[in-house]
């Protein structure tokens, strides 16, 4: 019996040796990858109060003039000092890419449409993230004008904004801009956000910055050096070369991980049921290296196979978003009246519908400005002040953001509003809602039913950030703690990375010594 166990352990070890070597070596490399990301000046845009002097042309009037009868939503954006209504058309009405609706930019000053506005704004955002804030305008810019109904000249913000973006006075020039509406080998599903723009700059490192224009959000950056590491990791760790198999790739990964788990169990049994006093050379080294690394072999193999199994379930969070259809005439707001109602400077305005009632969602200037340099390192974001003002009478809704979050969860889940157990803000990543979910801050809406299901919703975008229940949370906790060493979080990222690299390297040593032992044994049997 013991001899058969030895033979089985040896044969299975040879089968899984190369796959485990690929996983372990690329796992060793992963912490290095997270520390050689392209240098980005900031991941957040400085919040500024709306320049009410620039909001002179009524949005409803502009929409009517441009024959835009309905829209999904709108908000305010600025390119330097030039303010625009960013109008989001109904899905499928805004341009290429299937259901991707390209926002339209209308001047808040004269009602003109900014040609290629979203394309220009993506470049403006990417440069802000890459090089930092501050004006990129020449002193002479913004002095041109257009006739305003025979009453004189008014500022041509469309021309000024275009000039600022296309002719920057500092920094690298833009090489290419493209809309990304589907995940690909570079912009993977782990980035979560779609659609985004890929903005490439004329720099030696070939950097490209991905931005989400509808939320002024930084998503991802890649340069040529990071791309090399990323491709190695894709091939060696996530086995992108098996993508043609579809879900079959997950089955292969799970089978090999379970085989590694079983092989490790056999190895532990052999260690504790045999005497090692007679072992020498490669056999002795493999024996003690393997038992030292055995616990982490079990943890990685179990969590890896569990993770592969969970990914057979389709991730459908991108299908959930608040579906709003607004008539053009309903998009008329009084910025001064909103500021009076909220009693604070306004930074943005959009519209939401809560249980059939329309509200202005008003973003307010925070008392203390906070710039998040690196969300993936800080792992937290502040909850920006926001007010919900009823359209029909400009009354402020108490706890508006929490109520909207609850309404979103009700719409996404289909459960009655009375079944909501708790609504709470989430401003930092943890084991359950972690950095792979990308969006912060969000609201967590909890229910008692369906294994205590929790909906994480982002009120700013009206989208579902994540849906978690006890079963999903168990897998997420397993992968986070056992696979990514988040049990070392008490020591910070450097300590966690060091732990990951040490034990990944131990797996490499274990496999290499095992292969040496196997090769020597084969030679001795042949001689």
Residue 441, C-beta contacts closer than 8 angstroms, at least 6 positions apart: 381, 382, 383, 384, 425, 426, 427
Give the model's pLDDT for residue 6.
85
pLDDT in tens, the chain (527 residues): 778 898 899 899 999 999 999 999 999 988 888 778 888 999 988 889 998 888 999 999 999 999 999 999 999 999 999 999 999 998 754 443 446 789 999 999 999 999 999 999 999 999 999 998 766 655 444 445 544 444 444 568 899 999 999 999 889 999 999 999 999 989 999 899 999 999 999 999 999 999 999 999 999 999 999 999 999 999 999 898 898 899 999 999 999 999 999 999 999 998 888 876 556 666 777 788 888 889 999 999 999 999 999 999 988 998 999 988 889 988 889 999 999 999 999 999 999 999 999 999 999 998 876 666 677 777 788 898 999 999 999 999 999 999 999 999 999 999 999 999 999 999 999 889 988 899 999 999 999 999 999 999 999 999 999 999 999 999 988 998 899 888 888 888 889 889 999 999 999 999 998 888 888 877 877 76
Residue 396: half-sphere exposure toward Cβ, Cα within 13 Å:
15
> What does each C-alpha distance from 299 to 23, 209, 303 come to in angstroms?
14, 36, 6
Distance from C-alpha of 128 to C-alpha of 381, rounded to nearest angstrom: 19
| pTM of the model as a whole | 0.89
Give the Cα separation of 141 and 159 in Å (integer).
9
Provide the token pair at 154.
């008014």
**309 contacts: CB under 8 Å, gap ≥ 6:** 250, 254, 475
Q: E strands of 299-385, at which residues?
A: 326-327, 346-354, 357-364
Phi-psi region of 438 (alpha: psi -120 to 50; beta: other; left: phi over 0): left
**Is residue 40 within 8 Å of residue 209, measured between CB atoms?**
yes
Q: What is the spatial distance between Cα 109 and Cα 114, in angstroms, rounded to a whole number?
A: 12
335 and 347 Cβ atoms separated by less than 8 Å: no
The bridge status of strand 386-390 relative to strand 396-397 is antiparallel
Sign (positive or negative) of CA dihedral 344, 347, 351, 354: negative
Q: Give the pair of three-digit tokens for residue 498.
A: 């060091």
> How far is 322 from 157, CA to CA, in rounded Å?
32
Q: Which helix (H) or strand (E) holds 421?
A: strand 420-426
Dig out the tokens for 332 from the structure.
Answer: 């008329």
Torsion of CA 132, 135, 136, 138, to 10 degrees: -160
Q: Are 373 and 42 in contact (CB under 8 A)?
A: yes
pLDDT computed for residue 277 by the predictor:
56
Q: What is the pLDDT of residue 34?
A: 77
In the structure encoding, which two tokens stand for residue 367, read together?
């008392």
Domain boundaries, the chain: 2-36+234-315+483-526, 52-222, 322-461
What pLDDT is stored for residue 94 in this prediction?
43
Nearest to 466 by CA among 481, 478, 475, 453: 453
C-alpha to C-alpha distance for 219 and 201, rounded to whole angstroms:
16
Radius of gyration, CA atoms only, the chain? 28
Asked if omega into 441 is within 30° of 0 (cis), the reply is yes
| Residue 412 and residue 457 in contact, taking contact as beta carbons nearer than 8 Å | yes
Using alpha carbons, select from 36, 33, 209 the residue that is nearest to residue 130. Answer: 209
User: CA of 163: how far to CAs of 144, 146, 148, 166, in Å?
Assistant: 11, 16, 21, 5
């Amino acid at each position: 019996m013991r001899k058969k166990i030895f033979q089985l352990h040896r044969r299975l070890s040879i089968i899984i040796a190369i796959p485990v070597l690929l996983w372990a070596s690329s796992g060793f490399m992963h912490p290095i990858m997270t520390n050689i990301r392209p240098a980005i000046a900031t991941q957040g845009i400085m919040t500024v109060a709306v320049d009410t002097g620039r909001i002179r042309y009524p949005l409803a009037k502009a929409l009517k003039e441009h024959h835009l009868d309905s829209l999904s939503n709108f908000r305010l954006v600025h390119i330097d000092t030039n303010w625009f209504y960013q109008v989001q058309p109904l899905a499928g009405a805004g341009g290429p890419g299937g259901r991707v609706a390209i926002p339209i930019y209308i001047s808040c000053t004269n009602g003109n449409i900014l040609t290629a506005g979203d394309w220009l704004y993506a470049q403006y955002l990417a440069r802000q993230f890459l090089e930092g804030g501050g004006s990129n305008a020449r002193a002479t810019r913004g002095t041109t004008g257009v006739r305003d109904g025979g009453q004189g000249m008014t500022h041509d913000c469309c021309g000024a904004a275009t000039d600022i973006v296309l002719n920057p006075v500092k920094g690298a020039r833009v090489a290419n801009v493209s809309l990304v509406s589907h995940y690909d080998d570079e912009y993977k599903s782990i980035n979560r956000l779609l659609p985004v723009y890929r903005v490439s700059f004329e720099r030696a490192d070939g950097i490209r910055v991905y931005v989400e224009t509808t939320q002024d959000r930084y998503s991802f950056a890649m340069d040529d050096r990071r791309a090399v590491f990323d491709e190695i990791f894709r091939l060696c760790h996530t086995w992108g070369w098996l993508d043609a198999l579809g879900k079959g790739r997950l089955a292969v990964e799970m089978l090999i991980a379970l085989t590694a788990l079983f092989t490790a169990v056999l190895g532990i049994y052999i260690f504790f049921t045999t005497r090692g006093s007679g072992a020498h050379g490669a056999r002795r080294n493999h024996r003690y290296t393997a038992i030292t690394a055995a616990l982490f072999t079990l943890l990685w193999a179990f969590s890896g196979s569990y993770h592969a199994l969970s990914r057979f379930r389709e991730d459908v969070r991108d299908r959930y978003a608040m579906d709003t259809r607004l008539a053009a005439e309903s998009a008329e707001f009084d910025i001064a009246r909103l500021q009076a109602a909220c009693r604070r400077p306004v930074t943005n305005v959009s519209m939401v519908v809560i249980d059939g009632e329309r509200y202005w969602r008003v973003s307010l200037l925070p008392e203390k400005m906070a710039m998040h340099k690196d969300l993936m390192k800080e792992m937290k974001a502040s909850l920006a002040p926001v007010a919900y003002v009823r359209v029909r009478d400009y009354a402020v809704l108490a706890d508006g953001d929490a109520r909207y979050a609850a309404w979103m969860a009700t719409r996404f889940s289909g459960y009655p509003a009375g079944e909501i157990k708790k609504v709470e803000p989430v401003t930092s990543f943890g084991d359950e809602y972690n950095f792979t979910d990308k969006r912060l801050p969000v609201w967590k809406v909890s229910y008692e039913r369906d294994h205590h299901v929790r909906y994480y919703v982002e009120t700013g975008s009206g989208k579902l950030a994540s849906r978690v229940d006890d079963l999903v949370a168990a897998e997420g906790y397993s992968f986070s703690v056992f696979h990514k060493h988040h049990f070392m979080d008490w020591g910070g990222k450097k300590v966690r990375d060091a732990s990951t690299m040490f034990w990944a390297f131990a797996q490499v040593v274990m496999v290499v010594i095992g292969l040496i032992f196997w090769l020597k044994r084969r030679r001795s049997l042949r001689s």
